[in-house]
Structure 1
């Protein structure tokens, strides 16, 4: 997976090491979490580079 790719929700959750329901909860409740993009009525993706940047920021905040 390259940084310029998008990932479906299940792939995004696996990338972050969280469950699918947690991914959707973060998207709904956390203002700092990357926003999902609707490509069509039945296709939603997240941008991989945004997810990785968010993950890295969480590690820095915890340190």
Structure 2
């Protein structure tokens, strides 16, 4: 059985995946400690792992649900 690997998303695809603009993606990576960091696949290729982005989105959804439940 072959182990599953997370897909690597280039910046434009990663931004679209999480619903951000490209500049917001880079800003969140730089300034938000909860946002996944990109990985250097080669000297000229940077990508985000889809599993990391999925985990971030799940945490965000959980935080949103807690805020709604408190109201």
Shared fold (TM-score, shorter chain, > 0.5):
yes
Unaligned 5+ segments in structure 1 are none
Query: Which is greater in Rg?
Result: 2
TM-aligned CA deviation for residue 33 of structure 1? 0.7
Q: Which portions of structure 1, spanning 4 or more consecutive aligned residues, are displaced by more than 6 angstroms?
A: none
Higher relative contact order (CA 8 A, sep 6+): 1
- The TM-score, its normalising length taken from structure 2, stands at 0.80
Q: Which residues of 2 match residues 6-25 of structure 1 at below 5 A?
A: 6-25=8-27
CA pair 52-29 structure 1, distance change in 2 beyond 3 A: same
Unaligned 5+ segments in structure 2 are 66-71
1-structure distance, mates of 2:5, 2:63: 22
Equivalenced residues, count: 62
- The TM-score, its normalising length taken from structure 1, stands at 0.90
